[in-house]
Chains A and B, each alone.
Chain A
Amino acid sequence: MSLLDILAHQLLNGLVLGSFYALVALGYTMIFGVIKLLNFAHGDLYMVGGFIGFIVLSAISSVVGGGWFGIFIAMLLSMLAVGFLGVVIERIAYHPMLSAPRLSILITALAVSLVLQNTALALTNGQYTAFRSDLGFGGITLGGLFITYNQMVLVAAAAVLMIALEFFVTHTQYGRAMRAVAVDADMCELLGINVAAVIGVTFFIGSALAAAAGTMAGAYYGSLWYFMGFLIGLKAFTAAVIGGIGSIPGAMLGGLVLGLLEALGTQIPGIGSEWKDVFSFAVLILVLVFKPTGLLGRSEQERM
């Protein structure tokens, strides 16, 4: 393979990886926007989404098959289920803590994350679960680059979800309310906006996007693990920070940038794939040091 082919191949890998990061980062950034909470449990909702998608697909694959249509149904149901799970978590764990000290709600989020992780650990005995699907390995060759249909569908699906979200946020009443709550929740309350409902909707959408990513990642990589949400949670946070936390287009951009940085960064001599995660955390720390508002974030002097 020529250098150009390797580069193109890594760009494609980065695009796929970046789509997952972006979907998870969106939920992170939206939830941060409305209640200023770093939801540590968000990565674990991705994991739960993967498992629910797997269970649904196992149940319906005899009827609709394990192809993209089956996965699509599994993804939708998983999004619905995890969306509700997100709302329940918010109502039970975060809502009573909204006025508590910052540290308390952060620890609560960590506790929720650990409960989800360890429930999955107990149910799967810590084993990898094979996510079987009949996606095949077909694709097209573009120059020296082989693109599978799976990769195309996946990136397209992620793009559709992001465009739908962008439309929702900019063109609907709830979207407008969501942006208003992110600016000033107390003022929204005074103006008669049902802030609790807006927070609920935000959690639903954010969690559902994570579940979509989880189901697609499960089908694409072919396996699920109780701990798979930990790393992607961290990466998605990194993506959200790169794009500017609180900014929805920023999360999409940040996800893609991080995916590409990782795919290309591991090609630099001396940085093998075993250093991939160190590489992205180093990027996170550097961004926080030199440009904490990220690429598209507003500069605000806010401390808590």
Chain B
Amino acid sequence: MATDDRPGAGTTPALARLAGPLAALADNAAARRAGIVALLALMVVAPFVFGEYATVILTNALLYVVLALGLNVVVGYAGLLDLGYAAFFAVGAYTVGILTLRVGVNFWLTLPVAVCTAALAGVIIGGPTLRLRSDYLAIVTLGFGEIVRISARNMSITGMASGLSGIHQPWLFGWHIATPRDFYYLFCVLAILAVAVSVRLADSRLGRAWLYVRYDEDAAEAMGIDRVRVKLAAYVTGAIFGALGGVFFAVNLGAISPESFSFTQSVLILMAVILGGMGKIPGVILGAMIVILGPELLRSLGELRLLVFAVGLLLIMLFRPSGIWPGRGRQQ
């Protein structure tokens, strides 16, 4: 199955038993459709039920869904480790900030520019490194993430350490997207689009090529798949998702600063991908929710938040590498 977990991803019996009912639910097509409808209905009414504070948090969670789905293309689909994903997020955010504030371009016109800039950055970083051992990519992306953050902090066009503020809220056909609720719905649409694109990509020719390269690179190459090009496609697709997330992040907050794009940010997005179950779309969504809603529910943790996530990540890797969301087709 296309969204299956990786080889060797064993499930401990106790966890399998726990995941049993959930897996049954995920396997039943009718139940799944009903679940999706219920989820969409919940998304529509959520701001009216939970109030403004929860709406803001949920908006953030939806942003993470978009970012995590983008990183999932790189990590989950193509099996490449990207530790500097926040860099693309930053590229998107700063493109909007600079073009709308310093040049005066209309917000919607900055979108294609942000996408092209991110894709170009992806090609520049990914092109040379993807020819090497795939673990080099991990550390080069880590370095790239730092380069982008430090550059943003040192250049006057990006507003140095204090960043850019006063980014205007956009208009869409006479609708001024301004209140938290407006932005919530905007991000709902984005997240749904991201899910749709992810699903289509996984089932596409390219998606199957990614799966093949992830399982056995040499065999894939023997079958005529250009592994560097296929990997680069994954890396650039992830970059575009990240940049789009950054674009809307910038207009939502109205202000951006270099520290929003730190290594910690990259790690949080990566955790969202892995905790829920990389390669599996519901798993990634679950992961994004855990990463954003978890700290809200466990306020008392404070500074320990990341430690808890880090220990969780370690335990997941050691005992259930396919993530929390149940994998299908592996329970014998």
A interface residues with partner B (beta carbon < 8 Å): 37-38, 40, 92-93, 96-97, 99-104, 106-108, 110-112, 114-115, 117-119, 121-122, 125-126, 230, 234, 237-238, 274-275, 277-278, 281-282, 284-285, 288-289, 292, 302-304
Contacts and interface: CB of A to CB of B under 8 A. Distances in A.
Contacts of A118: 304, 306-307, 310
Given A278-B151, A284-B140, A234 B146 contact: yes
Interface string B316-327: 011001000000
B135 A288 contact: no
A288 B136 contact: yes
Contact of A288 (B8, B81, B140): B140
A49 B292 CA distance: 33
Contacts, number: 128
Contacts of B134: 102-103, 303-304
B6 A38 contact: no
Interface string B90-114: 0000000000000000000000000
10 contacts: A97-B317, A106-B138, A111-B317, A114-B267, A277-B146, A281-B144, A285-B125, A288-B132, A288-B140, A304-B217
B318 A93 contact: yes
B154 A303 contact: no
A97 B81 CA distance: 16
B147 interface: yes
Contacts of A117: 310
Give the one of A96, A97, A106, A304 with max B CB within 10 A.
A106
Contacts of B270: 107, 110
Given A106-B81, A118-B310, A288-B136, A274 B150 contact: yes
Contacts of A112: 314
A101 B134 CA distance: 12
B210 to A, nearest CB: 13
B143 interface: yes
Interface of B: 6-8, 75, 79-81, 83, 125, 128-129, 132-136, 138-140, 142-144, 146-147, 150-151, 153-154, 217-218, 263, 267, 270, 274, 303-304, 306-307, 309-311, 313-314, 317-318, 321
A93 B314 contact: yes
A40 B141 CA distance: 13
Contacts of A230: 263
A102 B314 contact: no
B148 to A, nearest CB: 9
A292 B130 CA distance: 12
B307 A101 contact: no
Contact of B139 (A104, A107, A111, A234): A234
Contact of B313 (A100, A111, A277, A302): A111
A133 B142 CA distance: 34
Contacts of B321: 100, 104
Contact of A101 (B7, B147, B153, B274): B7
Nearest to B136: A288
A285 B147 CA distance: 11
B307 A115 contact: yes
Contacts of B263: 230
Given A101-B7, A107-B274, A281-B144, A237 B310 contact: no
B303 A125 contact: yes
Given A101-B8, A285-B140, 10 more contacts: A101-B7, A101-B79, A103-B81, A118-B304, A118-B307, A126-B303, A234-B146, A278-B151, A288-B129, A303-B134
Contacts of B314: 93, 108, 111-112, 115
A108 B143 contact: no
B219 to A, nearest CB: 12
B140 A99 contact: no
B303 A121 contact: yes
A121 B129 CA distance: 33
Most chain B C-beta atoms within 10 Å of own C-beta, residue among A96, A99, A107, A285: A107
Nearest to A92: B318
B198 to A, nearest CB: 18
Contact of B6 (A37, A104, A115, A284): A104
B143 A281 contact: yes
A68 to B, nearest CB: 34
Contacts of B132: 288, 292
Contacts of A285: 125, 128-129, 140, 143-144
